Structure 1
Amino acid sequence: MRRARIGSDELALVVEADGARIASLTHLPTGRELLASTPWADDPADGFVMADSSAQWHRAYRGGWHLLLPRAGDSPAAVSPPQPFHGEAAWRTWRLASSGGTCRASVALRTLPLAIERRMSVHANTLVIETEVRNLGPVPVEVGWAEHPAFAGDLFREGSIVRSGDRDLGLGAAPAASFCDIAAPAGAVAIAAPHAGIEITVTWDAAMHPRLYVWQEQRGSSGFPWWGAMDAVGLEPASDPYGTPVDALGSLAVGAGESLVSVVSLRVDRRRAVSPEATS
């Protein structure tokens, strides 16, 4: 199965085998696509591959929601075998199976003895992603882990508010391009989009993912790879500060024969739509 479609009366989800990427998440009552996609997202795959994995990731990036494991960003030079940019899991073709409102995705990594199972289920206005990482090897493994949802840029128009706990993230007005890494002890981030008539709340286990990467690429970069055409905001729960540790993949230890389990939820609530004139 290359693609699975699941949903409820309120949310429709499309999962692709490539990277177990959530390619689309649509709020049906408003007809809004909640995840960003690049203008070339529907282009067919080609045989050309850039030598640097970071460059290739960005060249081929289609948007949506990825799992970054066993490392977000570049692999440390001391790690062998090296990881591709954002980790092997996001580059692999996963096995998919779907039934009713649930999609199961599974893959066994080759660079580490890890088996990953990802269960995505939709219940009314809520998406729940349960991920188990199991160590099949005889010794403990340390990994990094980040969730990488890229939200549609049009959710972040003037009047929108993005908060993690009691902290207003204060995103700059588009066009803008920025990246920051913050502590997220609340284990939650909320997007209030009054012009869209919705509020999105993402929650996770802050003990496992105490950081939040905030990536804003709203037509703010004129060069490669975006050419001023990408409109997205990434709000990404993560296990480690970006770029650390410098001598290992991450700080999460998976004992021999043991598992780590993460649950991330996304809920969409209806709010009375407010016109742009009313928020000015």
Structure 2
Amino acid sequence: MPARADAPLALAAGGLTATVLPAEGGVIVDARLGGRPFLAATPWASSVTAEPEPAPDEQTWVARWRGGWQVCLPSAGQPDPTDPRQGFHGAASQARWAVVESSEAHVALSWRDADLVAERAIVLGNGRLTVRTLLRNDGPAARQVLVAEHLVLGGDVLTAPLELATNAGALQPLDYSGVPDGIPVPWPGERAERWDIVDVATPARVAGLVDVRRVTATGDHVEVVVAWHGLPHALLWEELGVSTEPPWNGDVVALGIEPSSVPHGAGTAHGDAQTLAPGESLAWEAALEVRFAEGVA
């Protein structure tokens, strides 16, 4: 049985650094390029402590969320009343992960419940932050699963307007809880909604990206590329200091580009989860590249 570690793990490769918290979902809580942060951080991050039980609802999960990049499994999105083990965003998203091995630029983590085993590797190299995950059913019965990479940009990425582009695909309208709210339309949706522009006029909102494998965010100050395989969809979440109710209080600035197995956040209760038969596995990879423009503060 691999040893567990509660201490943060510091990774570095070239000018890229990342801090991983195994005790809190293996979250990449901070990542920087040349000292410049590019992941979201919540104002309450310093008061968060690891908890032994999954968050039962969105409010509790958000209160434990530091920001950054973590995986949501074996469910993603809203709680499933038929499976209280999962809670909001899946039991593994803020649970303790075991450290299997680590080096200066790499860490391998593992998590399991009664039946499922997840193996996750976080690697820095070639100017890229790459995460590879394998989810396997080791139990005697089939399991229903949803997964999502809760990859949330912030920091110096969101200091100026961005233009978003995808490799085609469609936009699935969702309400702010992540539940489907209309039929898919070709990306980037209606012109007046400006889904391809992120700036101070962007409302707090979320949408599904259907049949998408790559999203770029480009501005005069930065270029960001999120690319993945093994997952067919993504979620696009925009919260640019617009929501003034607690806990957001107008202080959270975040852009989620979240590869996922389904283009919504309704959870396994929505009825389109993937079935993993005994011995079956699901594998995927996501990579993030950030390039800041020289001389732009």
On whether the aligned pair clears a TM of 0.5, the verdict is yes
Aligned to 1:95: 98
Runs of 4+ residues deviating >3 angstroms: 156-159, 166-169, 244-248, 269-275
Aligned to 1:27: 33
1:16 CA displacement:
0.3
Residue 201 of structure 1 aligns with an amino acid whose one-letter code is: V
Aligned to 2:269: 246
- SS of equivalent residue, structure 2 residue 290: strand
The question of 1:218 aligning with 2:240 is answered yes
- SS of equivalent residue, structure 1 residue 57: helix
1:170 CA displacement:
2.3
Does the CA contact (< 8 Å) of 1:194 and 1:273 recur in 2?
Answer: no
Q: Deviations over 1:189-242 (max 9, x none)?
A: 1121322xx31211112xx42222111111111111111111111111111132
1:177 CA displacement:
4.0
Give the counterpart of 2:126 among 124, 127, 130: 124
Q: Percentage identity across aligned positions?
A: 27
Equivalent-residue separation in structure 1 for 2:141 and 2:48 (angstroms): 41
TM-score (norm 2): 0.80
Does the CA contact (< 8 Å) of 1:20 and 1:105 recur in 2?
Answer: yes
Aligned to 2:67: 63
**RMSD of the alignment, in Å?**
2.6
1:263 CA displacement:
1.0
Aligned to 1:179: 205
TM-score (norm 1): 0.84
Give the counterpart of 1:14 among 16, 19, 26: 19
Of the structure 1 ranges 53-62 and 63-72, higher mean CA displacement relative to structure 2 is found in 53-62
The aligned length equals 264
Give the counterpart of 2:224 among 200, 224, 228: 200
Q: Deviations over 1:138-185 (max 9, x none)?
A: 122220011111111542344421211255542453264422323343
- SS of equivalent residue, structure 1 residue 182: strand
Are residues 130 and 52 of structure 1, via their aligned partners in 2, closer, same or farther at CA, if it must alter by over 3 Å?
Answer: closer
The question of 1:229 aligning with 2:251 is answered yes
Q: Deviations over 1:75-126 (max 9, x none)?
A: 233x23442111101121111231131111111124xx10111001111201
Are residues 211 and 46 of structure 1, via their aligned partners in 2, closer, same or farther at CA, if it must alter by over 3 Å?
Answer: closer
Residue 88 of structure 1 aligns with an amino acid whose one-letter code is: A
Does the CA contact (< 8 Å) of 2:48 and 2:63 recur in 1?
Answer: no
Give the counterpart of 1:140 among 142, 146, 159: 142
Aligned to 2:10: 5
Structure 1: stretches of 5+ with no match in the other structure: 276-280
Are residues 44 and 144 of structure 1, via their aligned partners in 2, closer, same or farther at CA, if it must alter by over 3 Å?
Answer: closer
Does the CA contact (< 8 Å) of 1:183 and 1:210 recur in 2?
Answer: no
- SS of equivalent residue, structure 2 residue 47: coil
Of the structure 1 ranges 165-174 and 54-63, higher mean CA displacement relative to structure 2 is found in 165-174
Equivalent-residue separation in structure 1 for 2:286 and 2:248 (angstroms): 28
Q: Deviations over 1:26-65 (max 9, x none)?
A: 112xx21010101121125398x9x952211122221111
Equivalent-residue separation in structure 2 for 1:264 and 1:46 (angstroms): 25
Give the counterpart of 2:41 among 15, 37, 40: 37
1:270 CA displacement:
5.1
Structure 2: stretches of 5+ with no match in the other structure: 169-186, 189-194
1:273 CA displacement:
5.2
Give the counterpart of 1:156 among 155, 158, 165: 158
Residue 251 of structure 2 aligns with an amino acid whose one-letter code is: A
